[in-house]
Amino acid sequence: MEHLFDQDWEIVPAGGATGEAFFAQYQEQRLFLKRNSSPFLAVLSAEGITPKLVWTKRLENGDVITAQHWLNGRELKPAEMKEDRVARLLKKIHTSKPLLTMLERLGTEPFQPDHMLTELETSLEFDLLTLPDVKKAMRFLQDGLDEVRQSEYVVCHGDVNHNNWLLSEQNQLYLIDWDGAMIADPAFDVGLLLYWYIPEDQWEDWLLQYGTELTDSLKLRMKWYVVAQTILFMQWHKAKGRFHEMNHWIEYLHKII
């Protein structure tokens, strides 16, 4: 990475799971660098959903490096997720034709609930599958599958955790970390956000700012995806040996199922 810059630049890893992100700084110039990010990033930047893309360079080995403005800012606090600007930005993402067109051009197929259920049925470890709440949850997923299938597919972020919402010092809100982007039911994003951050008696008001109504269909689809995701979180943390986190999601499943 260093050979892209003069030696006066300071380049340090930015952390993260992939180890492909870096911070670069020289005097007042500061950039966020990423190796082999998707061409999707250019459209996200053009739409104002992520910080501005400054340049893209292809290296001799075929790697592509992207540089974005490194902004001073902070992640949203959990209590701030109920704010109108969060609902409006998520709606902008879900209704963006340029984002959808680019993901389709990149060969992304719509994420079907059938795929999610099949993954759970075939990969869930036996000791989790035998838990009473997991058995109940799997029956709920199986019984509701036909009603969850629908035809509206949009660009979804896939991980709307408050840590991925960046508020700049200029009070501009961004949604970052798009490695899990998918074409899916908007209930995939909306359900996780509402279940995690918004009291149920405020769902209708939040959805009004988002631009839709709290119908029975949306309620079912949101719950379906949240239940499925919760079981996947349990499995993921168990595989990593993170049993405290696994137990957190087991307790959460008991609460919502």
Which residues are tagged catalytic?
159
Residue 21 to residue 34: CA distance in whole angstroms? 4
Residue 202 to residue 71: CA distance in whole angstroms? 32
Distance of CA 186 to the CA centre of its chain: 12
Rg of the chain over Cα atoms, rounded to whole angstroms, equals: 20
**Tokens representing residue 11 in the block:** 């380049």
**Tokens representing residue 130 in the block:** 């035998």
Number of residues written out for the chain: 257
Phi, psi for 30 (deg, rounded to 5): -140, 130
Cα diameter, the chain: 61
Task: Name residue, tokens 């798009």.
Answer: 178
Cα–Cα distance list, 118 to 138, 224, 243 (Å): 11, 14, 24
